[in-house]
């Protein structure tokens, strides 16, 4: 779990770094274009130019700045990211037997106490993903895309989607760590029992 989380996080950080570099260059370009346009128009107006050149310069630099702004907003790189062994798939689809998790861990994640009306840890995790908007759109037209990307063998991801995937793995890892804690407590109790 931890390795898959780190892999997604590292790639997301790399992509985000590239996006930030381009965004910085575009921002500086927009500032320079705006400054040059304002100074040029100001000089022409100060010289009492009767032509419409200052207006043309203002409109031209405004259009260039708007274009650079749009480029900043659409600066989202995508990378093809494969994950043929996908633990999130089993959490999402809830098969009877997991192909990823060992049987005791899968039993722990999917167990629902018949005496209590509480959901399994697996279902609680899925509910959190949906509730926090990590898997925001489960409408039928987008279900296949979501299934293939997060719960399939891979697809095209943006940096924010990879960070989301890493967070989902982190949450799953936390649930498995709960099992480890329960086992440690049980081991301590058994040790006390044997010593008595």
Least reliable range by pLDDT among 40-54, 61-75, 97-111: 40-54
Domain count, the chain: 2
Clarify whether residues 84 and 162 are in a common domain: yes
User: What pLDDT, on the 0 to 100 scale, is given for residue 51?
Assistant: 79
Task: Please state, as a whole number, how many other Cβ atoms lie within 10 Å of the Cβ of residue 10.
Answer: 12
User: What pLDDT, on the 0 to 100 scale, is given for residue 135?
Assistant: 83
Token couple for 57: 């310069």
User: What pLDDT, on the 0 to 100 scale, is given for residue 107?
Assistant: 92
- Mark which of 42, 76, 110 sits at the end of a domain: 76
Residues 162-167: contacts with CB under 8 Å, at least 24 apart: 162/8, 162/9, 162/11, 162/12, 162/15, 162/79, 162/81, 163/8, 163/9, 163/12, 164/134, 165/8, 165/88, 166/5, 166/6, 166/8, 166/9, 166/12, 167/134
Clarify whether residues 57 and 107 are in a common domain: no
- Percentage above 90 pLDDT, the chain: 35
Range(s) of the domain holding residue 30:
2-76
Clarify whether residues 16 and 88 are in a common domain: no
Clarify whether residues 70 and 160 are in a common domain: no
Question: Could you give phi then psi for residue 51, rounded to 5 degrees?
Answer: -75, 170
Clarify whether residues 68 and 84 are in a common domain: no
pLDDT interval class at 70 (50, 70, 90): very high
User: What pLDDT, on the 0 to 100 scale, is given for residue 58?
Assistant: 86
pLDDT at 139 over 70: no
pLDDT interval class at 144 (50, 70, 90): low
């Amino acid at each position: 779990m931890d390795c898959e989380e780190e892999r997604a996080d590292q790639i997301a950080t790399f992509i985000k770094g590239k996006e930030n570099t381009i965004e910085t260059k575009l921002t500086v370009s927009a500032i320079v274009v705006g400054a040059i346009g304002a100074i040029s128009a100001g000089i022409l107006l100060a010289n009492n130019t009767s032509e419409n050149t200052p207006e043309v310069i203002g409109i031209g630099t405004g259009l260039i700045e708007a274009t650079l702004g749009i480029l900043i907003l659409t600066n989202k790189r995508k990378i093809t990211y494969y994950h043929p062994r996908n633990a999130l798939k089993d959490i999402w689809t809830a098969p009877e037997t997991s192909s990823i998790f060992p049987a005791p861990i899968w039993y722990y994640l999917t167990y629902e106490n018949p005496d209590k009306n509480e959901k399994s840890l697996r279902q609680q995790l899925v509910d959190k993903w949906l509730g926090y908007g990590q898997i925001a759109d489960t409408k039928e037209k987008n279900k296949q895309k979501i299934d293939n990307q997060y719960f399939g063998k891979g697809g095209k991801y943006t940096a924010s989607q990879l960070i989301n995937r890493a967070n989902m793995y982190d949450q799953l890892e936390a649930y498995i760590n709960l099992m480890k804690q329960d086992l440690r407590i049980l081991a301590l109790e058994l040790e006390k029992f044997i010593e008595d």
